[in-house]
Chains A and B, each alone.
Chain A
Amino acid sequence: ILNVEQSPQSLHVQEGDSTNFTCSFPSSNFYALHWYRWETAKSPEALFVMTLNGDEKKKGRISATLNTKEGYSYLYIKGSQPEDSATYLCAFMRAGNNRKLIWGLGTSLAVNP
């Protein structure tokens, strides 16, 4: 059974705070790790797709790191804004698995103004 676990389940921060979440995934047969942002009443949108151990990706105030050997990825948000409020999902793609994504349950972030 492949499990992708995300922590924390939910998070409330004040505007301007920096925060980070964790995604844990199986360390064997790694192909890719995806991060998505899912706003309420919308559909998930890709933030990052990471494939190499040690990868670091950045998009504005959001960045992510990847450790495939130990099976974890961190997502960082610097200076959180109310518009960052969303659920952040990670998904693991195993090598040779027909591009199927195995999804975590997400971290729900609420940024208070």
Chain B
Amino acid sequence: NAGVTQTPKFRILKIGQSMTLQCTQDMNHNYMYWYRQDPGMGLKLIYYSVGAGITDKGEVPNGYNVSRSTTEDFPLRLELAAPSQTSVYFCASSLTTEAFFGQGTRLTVV
């Protein structure tokens, strides 16, 4: 039982490049979330999903896209990376109670 697996752990992107942050959970959780965490700002919700085929915007969705084709996977796509997207990204999932987090992705856009 791996829990929430997030890849990659670190990535440096050039401005304008695109990439996908992968998130997989093996706990059969319906709810999945993507957060970004910036110094002094706390966790901000980017996108979330209440089940396969359903996604919705969070507080800071601009510049990102998601999909949820299966219960297990919830990838986050950056199409045109910008310096403002330099952050630490966390994927999380939950069933009815606490959220379980992945290990985080530290992304730097230069």
**What residues of chain A have their CB less than 8 Å away from a CB belonging to chain B?**
32, 34, 36, 42-46, 49, 89, 91, 98-101, 103-106
CA distance A98 to B31 in the complex (A): 8
Q: A105 contacts which chain B residues (CB < 8 A)?
A: 40-42
Chain B CB within 10 A, most for which of A45, A99, A104, A105: A99
- On whether the beta carbons of A99 and B50 are closer than 8 Å, the reply is yes
- On whether the beta carbons of A45 and B56 are closer than 8 Å, the reply is no
Closest approach, in angstroms, between the C-beta of A8 and any C-beta of chain B? Answer: 15
- On whether the beta carbons of A100 and B48 are closer than 8 Å, the reply is yes
CA distance A104 to B40 in the complex (A): 11
Q: B41 contacts which chain A residues (CB < 8 A)?
A: 105
CA distance A94 to B48 in the complex (A): 15
The 6 closest A-B pairs by CB, nearest first: A46-B98, A43-B101, A105-B42, A103-B43, A49-B97, A99-B31
Q: Looking at the complex, which one of A98, A101, A104, A106 makes contact with B99 (CB distance below 8 Å)?
A: A101
Q: B101 contacts which chain A residues (CB < 8 A)?
A: 43-45
Closest approach, in angstroms, between the C-beta of B2 and any C-beta of chain A? Answer: 13
A-B residue pair count with CB separations less than 8 angstroms: 47
The chain A residue with its CB closest to the CB of B101 is A43
CA distance A104 to B37 in the complex (A): 12
The chain B residue with its CB closest to the CB of A46 is B98
- On whether the beta carbons of B45 and A43 are closer than 8 Å, the reply is no
B75 within 8 A of A: no
- On whether the beta carbons of A34 and B99 are closer than 8 Å, the reply is yes
The chain A residue with its CB closest to the CB of B30 is A99
Given contacts A91-B99, A99-B31, 8 further A-B contacts (CB under 8 A): A43-B102, A43-B104, A44-B90, A98-B56, A100-B33, A101-B45, A103-B43, A105-B41
Q: A98 contacts which chain B residues (CB < 8 A)?
A: 31, 48, 50, 56
Residue-wise interface mask of B (75-106) relative to A, using a CB-CB cutoff of 8 A (1 in contact, 0 not): 00000000000000010001001111111100
